[in-house]
Amino acid sequence: MNCKVCGSNGWLNNSSTNEPDKYEKWMGITDVKRCWRKCLGCGLWHHRRNYPLEQLDKIYEDGYRHPDFRGETLRQAFRKIITIPLEDSENKRRIEWLLNTIDTPETLLDIGSGIGVFPYEIRKHRVDVQCVESNNDSIELINTLGMKCTKEIPDGEFDVVSVIHVLEHIEDPVEFLISLHDSLKPDGKLFIEVPDAIEFDRLPPFSDEFNSCHTHFYDVSTLCRVLARAVYNVTDIHREHYKDRNLHRIMMVCQKGE
């Protein structure tokens, strides 16, 4: 397989496992051979596996948010997260950075809304939010919170499209990002957040950060290259350390190019 960023077929293998993690076990995948490897051409981290990534698709619809899997209901998780104070809240801090970086948008499309905490918080700034989510229970919860949530990307153009902790799950990030062009106004902004590949230097090899659902890890350079290939111009970059969970993230704002 060639690298999705630079086209190289040279890879350096890192950690490997033959043991299914909790996501694979939930989906009944028992024959597992996985390896994280780093592209020798550009440094992109890719998760190589012995089964099609599509075999994990259904976990996003039904299992990923299930109380038996998470140990709490979606509403319990939502209520717990929205009470976290600013200094410890990942959602409140990403919103603070975003709104300090761009003008407050009138409309925002949030893709991969999870249990709806980010759209719920940013809506407090008088932003008209629409959500896209694949999990059936999440869709129901988000709609009860007064926001419209669908499985498919709605028609129309938005001031901001947010893609928070989604890109690391996508097999072909360039194709996915190109597909978002039509959802942005001509002067609209794309907001992305992903785990920082610095985690490979500081976390144990079988941390949940490197779970079977994650397909790529990016540093600033490789994420910029993916965005450039998808015809976006990066305008702002921020690296964040969430101390409460001791995790590092990369945030970027960009505009679609010509």
Is 63's pLDDT higher than 80?
no
Instruction: Give me 29's structure tokens.
Output: 């995948």
Residue 34's H or E segment, with its range, is strand 34-39
Q: What is the pLDDT of residues 13-57, one digit of tens each?
A: 998 999 999 999 999 999 999 999 999 999 999 999 999 999 998
Answer whether 98's CB lies under 8 Å from 91's CB: no
Is 11's pLDDT higher than 90?
yes
Q: Hey, what amino acid is at 212?
A: S
Q: What is the pLDDT of residues 123-146, one digit of tens each?
A: 999 999 999 999 989 999 999 999
- Sequence length of the chain is 258
Q: Hey, what amino acid is at 191?
A: F
Tell me whether residue 199 is exposed, middle or buried, using C-beta atoms within 10 angstroms of its C-beta: 0 to 12, 13 to 18, 19 or more: middle
Answer whether 195's CB lies under 8 Å from 211's CB: no
Q: What is the pLDDT of residues 146-172, one digit of tens each?
A: 999 999 999 999 999 999 999 999 999
- Superfamily classification of domain 81-256: Vaccinia Virus protein VP39 (3.40.50.150)
What pTM does this model have? Answer: 0.94
